[in-house]
């Protein structure tokens, strides 16, 4: 069973980042969210390994709840 690889693995990360930003150019917030969801599902299907996907989801969620600023009442 595979494990999630979190080491840098993209040959040209700046080019990828530029393409990712370009993917969202001229989209509304709703369209951007839809594109993100579709991209996630396509990549999840490509990965295919449920354990790796669970590890990725846990890693993505890690520290998110504590990093979101709260509004004082």
Report yes or no on 64 lying in a domain.
Answer: no
Q: Provide the CB-side half-sphere exposure for 3 (13 A, CA).
A: 2
Tell me if 5 sits within 8 A of 53, measured CB to CB: no
Report yes or no on 53 lying in a domain.
Answer: yes
Tell me if 59 sits within 8 A of 4, measured CB to CB: yes
Which domain does 46 fall in, by range?
Answer: 28-57
Domains in the chain: how many in total? 1
Tell me if 51 sits within 8 A of 3, measured CB to CB: yes
Report yes or no on 3 lying in a domain.
Answer: no
Q: What is the tens place of the pLDDT at every residue in 8-21?
A: 999 999 999 999 99
Give the closest residue to 16 by CA, choosing from 28, 8, 26: 8
Report yes or no on 72 lying in a domain.
Answer: no
The model carries a pTM of 0.80
Report yes or no on 36 lying in a domain.
Answer: yes
Mean pLDDT to the nearest integer, 39-46: 98
């Amino acid at each position: 069973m595979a494990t999630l690889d979190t080491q840098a693995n993209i040959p040209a990360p700046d080019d990828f980042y530029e393409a990712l930003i370009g993917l969202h150019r001229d989209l509304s917030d709703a369209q951007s969210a839809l594109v993100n969801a579709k991209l996630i599902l396509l990549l999840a299907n490509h990965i295919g390994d449920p354990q790796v996907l669970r590890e990725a989801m846990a890693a993505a969620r890690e520290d998110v709840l504590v990093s979101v600023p709260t509004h004082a009442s």
